[in-house]
Amino acid sequence: MAAPRDIVQRSPGTDGSHTLSVSPTATFHSPRSNSFMAGSFAHRAAAAAKQLKPFNTEDIKILLLENVNQTGRDILKAQGYQVEFLKTSLPEDQLIEKIRDVHVIGIRSKTKLTAKVLSEAKNLLVIGCFCIGTNQVDLDYAAKHGIAVFNSPFANSRSVAELVIAEIITLARQLGDRSLEMHRGTWNKVSSKCWEIRGKTLGIVGYGHIGSQLSVLAEAMGMSVIYYDILTLMAIGTARQVPTLEALLEEADFVTLHVPETPETKNLISTAHLERMKTGSYLINASRGTVVDIPALIKAMRAGKIAGAALDVYPNEPAANGDYFVNDLNSWAEDLRGLNNIILTPHIGGSTEEAQRAIGVEVAEALVRYINQGITLGSVNLPEVTMRSLTLDEPNHARVIYIHRNVPGVLRKVNEILAEHNVDKQISDSKGDVAYLMADISDVKTEDIKEIRDSLDALSSRIMTRVLY
């Protein structure tokens, strides 16, 4: 019997009807082991859980950019997916060329997946951000086109917090400058304006995963911690939340920024804020480059208002390693390089072996779960939906996934289409304008699958239909 074809389609109303290739031999699949099934999630599922497949796995094409860790690459390759791996990000024109062809893209912080780029990604099912930040992706556009986005919300938080601790001491003792002088052959033994950090106040802006982890480490070294966050959050240890950013700036000896990139955090620290800071205080930014007005910081450091700074992130960052920290990329780069007591690092906050290995596993497993089973747990832009796996006792079952506009009457129409079959289980949830429905149906013949899919595709609410079996 001919295998079902065209098992994934996206709404022509959004970007046309697009078909993923399917195997000519596709049929109901027997289980196979994979890293996800070996994980704790699988242990909670029935022992004889059946692994669903969208189609022959070698048909899934994945593009991994920005040197995604080996752990992630291994998990994806073990599934039989076709994985292309590049160490760097890509300029927009090359990215558009490549993204046209793939079902999955894995990136870190540098690749910009804008609406323009995503509009060319006709086959794209899912994006994996192998990092915390997702500001580099147009999440709304992706959701409205049925493209799920996953990240790793805290696997590199500890690495960032440790980097900041190192920077606090380095700035307080002017270690960067002393080391540079020694490299140039100059012995300069000074204690003026070099301080212990014990008893000093650390002001943390953004008390999330990184900020709160940092709070614990800083207190352990004898610092007093205050924090400002737009949310009221439980203080850890003896840290204290302050009501305004201004209050934090006026009290802290060290100010460190751990907020996401949003319209509200653009230039969160600019001239007026630097003026509110104590004379001789320090500023650290390992969040996003847009959060600090860097020309304003340069002025404040030249004026002696700010005694030192550490920057890990910049408004424009190069796609690859090389001699790129020049004015061509950021007009003030050379002024920054000329300042004393400033630590400049190339966005390495999360760059440790531990963090990158953990992120590789976490994001790759989320991708596998989504590709093979349609589970959206952990997605940052689609409703989070999961459903118990089908088992080996249920050979002729199929899982229907219908991503649709969140408008009245859709469930009734979907259930009319599924009514011919027994719906064993079903779940639906929405997030904003987009809703996600998953249903397991039984006694499905391969020819039924095409009919179900075609009928769902014909509904005006459709964004994307997938049938896994």
Ligand X SMILES: NC(=O)C1=CN([C@@H]2O[C@H](COP(=O)(O)OP(=O)(O)OC[C@H]3O[C@@H](n4cnc5c(N)ncnc54)[C@H](O)[C@@H]3O)[C@@H](O)[C@H]2O)C=CC1
Long-range contacts of 86-91 (CB under 8 A, 24+ apart): 87/320, 88/319, 88/320, 89/65, 89/319, 89/320, 90/65, 90/319, 91/319
Q: At its nearest, how many Å lie between ligand AKG and the CB of residue 76? A: 18
Task: Decide which of ligand X, ligand AKG, none touches 407; Cβ closer than 5 to 8 Å per partner kind.
Answer: none
Can you say how many angstroms the Cα of residue 194 is from the centroid of all Cα atoms in its chain? 38
Pick the catalytic residue from 73, 347, 369, 405: 347
Task: Decide which of ligand X, ligand AKG, none touches 229; Cβ closer than 5 to 8 Å per partner kind.
Answer: ligand X
CB-count exposure of residue 246 (10 Å: 0-12, 13-18, 19+): middle
Of the candidates 388, 398, 405, which has an alpha carbon nearest to the alpha carbon of residue 443? Answer: 398
Instruction: Between 10 and 108, name the residue whose CB sits nearer to ligand AKG.
Output: 108
Please work out the total of residues on this chain that contact ligand X, with binding judged by CB under 6 A.
Answer: 32
365 is catalytic: no
Backbone torsion region of residue 262, taken as left when φ is above 0, otherwise alpha when ψ lies between -120 and 50, otherwise beta? beta
How many Cα neighbours within 13 Å face the side chain of 296? 16
Q: Which residues bind ligand AKG (CB under 6 A)?
A: 108-109, 131-133, 156, 349-351
Q: At its nearest, how many Å lie between ligand X and the CB of residue 225? A: 15
Q: At its nearest, how many Å lie between ligand AKG and the CB of residue 321? A: 12
Q: Which of residues 199-258 bind ligand X (CB under 6 A)?
A: 205-211, 228-231, 258
Task: Decide which of ligand X, ligand AKG, none touches 39; Cβ closer than 5 to 8 Å per partner kind.
Answer: none
Q: At its nearest, how many Å lie between ligand AKG and the CB of residue 404? A: 31
Query: Strand, helix or coil at 275?
Result: helix
317 is catalytic: yes
Instruction: Between 126 and 132, name the residue whose CB sits nearer to ligand AKG.
Output: 132
Backbone torsion region of residue 381, taken as left when φ is above 0, otherwise alpha when ψ lies between -120 and 50, otherwise beta? alpha
Task: Decide which of ligand AKG, ligand X, none touches 211; Cβ closer than 5 to 8 Å per partner kind.
Answer: ligand X
Instruction: Between 146 and 206, name the residue whose CB sits nearer to ligand AKG.
Output: 206
Q: Which of residues 154-193 bind ligand X (CB under 6 A)?
A: 154, 156-157, 160
Instruction: Between 109 and 174, name the residue whose CB sits nearer to ligand AKG.
Output: 109
Residue linked to tokens 């996800």? 36
Q: At its nearest, how many Å lie between ligand AKG and the CB of residue 90? A: 15
347 is catalytic: yes
Pick the catalytic residue from 158, 288, 397, 462: 288
Q: State which of residues 286, 292, 371, 449 lies at the interface with ligand X (CB under 6 A).
A: 286
Instruction: Between 207 and 282, name the residue whose CB sits nearer to ligand X.
Output: 207
With CB under 6 A as the contact rule, which of the stretches 26-34, 261-269, 324-332, 388-396 interacts with ligand X? Answer: 261-269
Rounded to an integer, what distance in angstroms lies between the CA atom of residue 301 and that of residue 139? 37
Q: Are strands 240-241 and 224-228 parallel, antiparallel or unpaired?
A: parallel
**Closest-CB residue for ligand X?**
208
Q: Are strands 201-205 and 254-257 parallel, antiparallel or unpaired?
A: parallel
Of the candidates 51, 105, 99, 106, which has an alpha carbon nearest to the alpha carbon of residue 79? Answer: 51
Task: Decide which of ligand X, ligand AKG, none touches 210; Cβ closer than 5 to 8 Å per partner kind.
Answer: ligand X
Task: Decide which of ligand AKG, ligand X, none touches 108; Cβ closer than 5 to 8 Å per partner kind.
Answer: ligand AKG
CA distances from 454 to 17, 259, 450 (A): 11, 45, 6
Q: What is the CA radius of gyration of the chain?
A: 26
Residues catalogued as catalytic: 288, 317, 347
